[in-house]
């Protein structure tokens, strides 16, 4: 459960960082977090990399690239300089490998917590999702015994579809009123819950929205750690909410995926401050 505890801590920190921007356009909060991430990335890169070796490799790269240009009419000299360019490019990448390893964990953690907030928005009243529960069926009639309970504020709009081949039960669930709800899936081996968030169309809070819930170390849990992992003792191995609407991140009237914006903004912020901190990247 250490990973779950880390996810909660990172999520709490992200919630504090984004709290001043709750009433603003979602892009403002993303801009702030991306810029802060870029600055921190530069500082970590500077502390964990061999700055002298990187500077030397880049200086030689510039020299050999200039040599290719100056002696472009001499084929042998140009080919020799090209080989040296590739060699020193490899050295530069090798020296950059260690800081990249240090950067991977915090950057991935930030991306996951941002994805929970910017990947999808809460449902609006009247919208419908398809809730799919995948089971570990040990008996033929176990799937037929699975049932779904929804609280007031949600409703089931169609009879359940049970797919024996996949050992999966599907329900169409409609949002009726704003709120935070826990639906309950009942199985012969216990019950599990899934959180559903509903908000008014005019008010879309920047809160973690999890469209999946899985077991410990599953892809669903690693990507959506907003809820605790499913207990391995229960029959349900994965819960997926399909057709959940994505959050619309519009900038100057253009739709932008949050991940693209995050990478561009964080890299731009990093390059903007690298000379200020004296870091060679």
Each residue's pLDDT expressed in tens, for the chain with a length of 281 residues? 677 787 888 888 998 989 888 878 888 999 999 999 999 999 999 999 988 888 888 888 888 888 888 887 877 888 888 888 888 788 888 888 888 888 988 898 999 999 999 999 999 999 999 999 999 876 556 788 889 999 999 999 989 999 988 889 999 999 999 999 999 999 888 899 999 999 998 787 888 999 999 988 888 888 888 999 998 888 899 999 999 999 888 777 778 889 999 999 999 999 999 999 989 88
Instruction: Answer yes or no: are the C-beta atoms of 258 and 114 closer than 8 Å.
Output: yes
Residue that the structure tokens 């899936």 belong to: 185
* 152 contacts: CB under 8 Å, gap ≥ 6: 176, 177
Q: For the chain, what are the domain ranges?
A: 2-119+254-273, 128-245
Q: By C-alpha distance, which of 238, 209, 236 is closest to 225?
A: 209
Q: By C-alpha distance, which of 70, 237, 96 is closest to 167?
A: 237
* 185 contacts: CB under 8 Å, gap ≥ 6: 133, 146, 147, 148, 169, 191, 192, 193, 194, 236, 239
The Cα angle at residue 123 between residues 32 and 186, in degrees rounded to 5: 120
Question: Taking the model in full, what pTM does it have?
Answer: 0.84
Confidence (pLDDT) at 132: 96
d(CA 34, CA 270): 10
The Cα angle at residue 84 between residues 82 and 90, in degrees rounded to 5: 110
d(CA 242, CA 157): 15
């Amino acid at each position: 459960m250490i990973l779950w505890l880390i996810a909660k801590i990172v999520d709490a920190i992200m919630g504090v960082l984004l709290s001043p921007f709750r009433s603003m356009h979602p892009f403002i909060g993303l801009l702030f977090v991306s810029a802060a991430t870029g600055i921190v990335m530069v500082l970590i890169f500077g502390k964990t990399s061999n700055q002298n070796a990187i500077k030397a490799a880049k200086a030689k790269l510039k020299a050999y690239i200039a040599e290719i240009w100056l002696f472009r009419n001499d084929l042998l000299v140009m080919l020799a300089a090209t080989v040296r360019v590739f060699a020193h490019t490899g050295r530069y990448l090798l020296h950059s490998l260690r800081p990249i390893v240090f950067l991977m964990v915090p950057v991935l953690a930030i991306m996951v917590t941002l994805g929970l907030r910017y990947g999808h928005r809460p449902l609006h009243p009247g919208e419908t999702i398809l809730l799919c529960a995948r089971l570990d069926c040990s008996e033929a009639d176990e799937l037929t015994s699975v049932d779904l309970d929804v609280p007031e504020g949600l409703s089931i709009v169609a009879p359940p579809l049970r797919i024996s081949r996949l050992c999966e039960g599907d329900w169409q669930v409609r949002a009726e009123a704003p709120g935070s709800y826990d639906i309950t899936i009942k199985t012969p081996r216990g019950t599990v819950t899934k959180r559903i968030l509903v908000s008014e169309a005019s008010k879309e809070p920047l809160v973690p929205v999890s469209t999946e819930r899985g077991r410990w170390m599953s892809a669903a849990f690693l990507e959506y750690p907003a809820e605790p992992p499913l207990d391995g003792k229960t029959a349900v191995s994965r819960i997926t909410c399909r057709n959940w609407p994505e959050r619309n991140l519009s900038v100057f009237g253009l739709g932008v995926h949050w991940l693209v914006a995050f990478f561009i903004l964080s890299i731009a912020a990093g390059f903007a401050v690298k000379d200020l901190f004296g870091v060679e990247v």
